[in-house]
Amino acid sequence: MWNDFLDMLFPSYCQMCEAGLAKGEKIICIYCRYHLPLANYHLLEANPLEKRFMGKVHVRYAWAYLKFTKRGRVQKALHALKYKGKQEVGQLMGIWYGEELRKSGHGEHFDLILPVPLHPSKLKKRGYNQSDTFASGLSEALATEWSPNLLIRTTASSTQTRKKRFERWKNVESIFGVSDPAQIKDKRILLVDDVITTGATLEACVEVLQDAGCREVSIAAIAAAQ
């Protein structure tokens, strides 16, 4: 009854379409749930995302759960996750996608799920890493471990900050690191991020993980731009 009362005072809205949620609906309404713009890359033999990494870094799989379109419902949900403190959006996407992966036979393909770390100053400001929420949802659905602090991002040194843009681009790998390589060794890693645009950050992370001795790296994001 208390919850009903709270719902009356603070009605909850769907994080994708902003319609009021009906009883039993949580975070995302039933309509949006059944009209998700699924990328379904995990069902394809080869997909456009894998092509994006080809010739740059070797990844076993590169997947996105949803297709990202500007001003669309997916963008709205990602915005809520990143800027409005709606961590449950990322968690839910992880659970839903993890279930899809399990159903299609990919449930046992990974030993460890690692989120792309945020820059420490950003983490301090936001209070959480949005990719952690996706990782934790996937971890729950796939019954696979995840860790928020094995893949780390170190603060750029003052010399790095002073470097020109082009040089910093070249040096992007040097700001990622692995805190405990023994825990990465021989593992099949699923590296996760909220959204894939150019893929440059992910490439840098893949290289760092491979240098640390993992067996293979795959990539999964909540959404990818087409």
Binding site for Zn ion (CB under 5 A): 14, 16-17, 29, 32
Dihedral, CA atoms, 100, 105, 107, 113, nearest 10 degrees? -80
Q: Nearer Cβ to Zn ion, position 29 or 204?
A: 29
Q: How far is the CB of 80 from Zn ion (least distance, A)?
A: 12
User: Can you state the percent helix, strand and coil of the chain, rounding each to 5?
Assistant: 45, 20, 35
Q: Nearer Cβ to Zn ion, position 72 or 181?
A: 72
Q: How far is the CB of 86 from Zn ion (least distance, A)?
A: 13
Q: Nearer Cβ to Zn ion, position 16 or 222?
A: 16
Token pair of 156, please? 């750029």
Specify whether the CB–CB gap between 162 and 126 falls below 8 A.
no
The number of CA neighbours under 13 Å toward the Cβ of 171 is: 15
Q: Nearer Cβ to Zn ion, position 30 or 143?
A: 30
Q: How far is the CB of 33 from Zn ion (least distance, A)?
A: 8
Residue 195 one-letter amino acid:
V
Specify whether the CB–CB gap between 181 and 58 falls below 8 A.
no
Q: Nearer Cβ to Zn ion, position 29 or 57?
A: 29
Q: What is the CA radius of gyration of the chain?
A: 18
Q: 88: burial class by Cβ within 10 Å (0-12, 13-18, 19+)?
A: middle
Q: How far is the CB of 31 from Zn ion (least distance, A)?
A: 5
Q: How far is the CB of 32 from Zn ion (least distance, A)?
A: 3
